[in-house]
Amino acid sequence: MSYWAVSRRIMAKDLVSEARTREMTNAMLFFALLVLVLFSFSFQPTSDEERRLAAGVLWIAFLFAGLSVLDRSFWRERVNDCLDALRLAPASASALFLGKCAANVLFLLLAEGILVPLFLVFFDLSFRGDVGQWLLVLVLGTWALVVNGTFFAAMTVNLRSRELMLPLLLLPISVPALIAVVEATATALLGEGAMGVWIRVLIAFDVIYTTLALLLFETVLEGT
């Protein structure tokens, strides 16, 4: 069984488990929708400045959804001590990590696929810039959140205050990526400026943190 097959199996296991319980999907969509609905009542973006603000609101909704996904990611391995079974298995720790990340990315992209159309309707917005490039930003930004979030979720899984620690660790380290995705989204909504520089920032962020996480995950898993 190859490295990638182990990753695929972990991903499939998480997807099947979630499809049967839907406990994470429901929580994730509920919180993210709440953010969008509340903000849509507080302002309707008519000026360019308000359109910029709306880009931030969208990513706050994604962050809420992401934190719900990431918090549950390793928590489900604690039930019946399945995390110990993963530690006992001869499979590569980084393959396990990639499988977890892939499942989390799919969950979050699913939520984003539902939230983006609702966001455009609630705020009466449309993309004036290059939608194709923005979709690339969406994928790169989602990976940026997930790769660090999955890593820290594993690190904090046994802490009593894990729900507090995860955002405390994840959000500061994600600031460069969050700035990039919000700026790129504002550019796409306004139709002014170029997204290229933000895409390069996201690619660099993703490469650096994915490499670090893959190298360090075995140590994290041993310490859980």
Partner 1 sequence: MSEALASNALVFDRVCKTFGETVALWHVSFALRPGTIVAVTGGNGAGKSTLLRVAAFLLKPTVGTVSVFGQTRPTPEVKRRIGFLGHASFLYEELSAEENLRFYAALYALGREADERIARVLGDVGAEEFRHRPVRTLSHGMRKKVSLARALLADPDLLLLDEPFSGLDAASVARTRALLLEWRRRGKAVLVTTHQTELLEGIADGELALERGRVRTWRAPAACESVMERA
| 67 binds partner 1, rule: CB under 8 A | no
Measured between alpha carbons, how far is 219 from 15 in angstroms, rounded to an integer? 26
According to CB under 8 A, which one of 34, 38, 82, 208 is a site residue for partner 1?
82
In whole angstroms, how close is the CB of 113 to partner 1 at the nearest point?
Answer: 23
Tell me 70's DSSP state. H
Question: The tokens 């796409």 sit on which residue?
Answer: 188
Window 12 to 31, contacts with partner 1 (CB under 8 A):
13, 16-17, 20-21
198, with CB counted inside 10 A (0-12, 13-18, 19+), is buried
Q: 10 Å Cβ neighbour count for 79?
A: 9
User: Could you give the string, one character per residue 126-165, with x where binding to partner 1 holds by CB under 8 A and - elsewhere?
Assistant: ----------------------------------------
According to CB under 8 A, which one of 91, 120, 165, 203 is a site residue for partner 1?
91
Quick one: how many helices (H) and strands (E) in the chain?
9, 0
In whole angstroms, how close is the CB of 221 to partner 1 at the nearest point?
Answer: 11
Give the residue with the Cβ less far from partner 1, 92 or 162: 92
